[in-house]
Structure 1
């Protein structure tokens, strides 16, 4: 009986440890191919309107050309969180995503900005370039 209790406690401990690292692991997964310093990830659920996608890309273009001359925000990734078979992570849970679509901006492996409005991304870069 003690052997089974030990195995159960060990198993639950492993699950707890894995769960605690899930946010870090998810961010590492999202930024592992990061050639440039900043990376934008757009999470959506089921479908993404073309007008929204266009706004994101237009803002990326403006930022690259107006704001980040030496270090462009070149990497954008679009992820459908409803596609459970595509990804090893539950991004909704591990990154505490509530509303969709949502844009997360990473600087290396640190989330530095989050919004649901693509125009706020450009505003964010305007505000940090004024500092």
Structure 2
């Protein structure tokens, strides 16, 4: 199993939106960055991810699971863009802030710390355990 982080602006698509989709989940669509798209193409069913509120909040608020592997993004006719489907697994009792992540030396190499603009990013197994 691999681990990932999915970033979204909570006023556009937040944790409550994701949980409302239930067990069928929802496409993680609209990604127009090749590195993020390639990360989604590498995902497998059952991979876990952190759900991160960007712009406002700046915190990991829950755990999601990949429930459909990479397929064409339904929001475009451009065949370069794929997406996966994710479903909410559980919220965090206490969100983990970006400030907390940056303060932990065990997380200093985390993509979120070093490339904060990437919307879909890998998380190492060690980073997953720490968070």
* Same fold per superposition (TM over 0.5): no
Higher strand share: 2
Comparing both structures, which one devotes a greater share of its residues to helix?
1
TM superposition score normalised by structure 2: 0.28
Rg: which structure is higher?
1
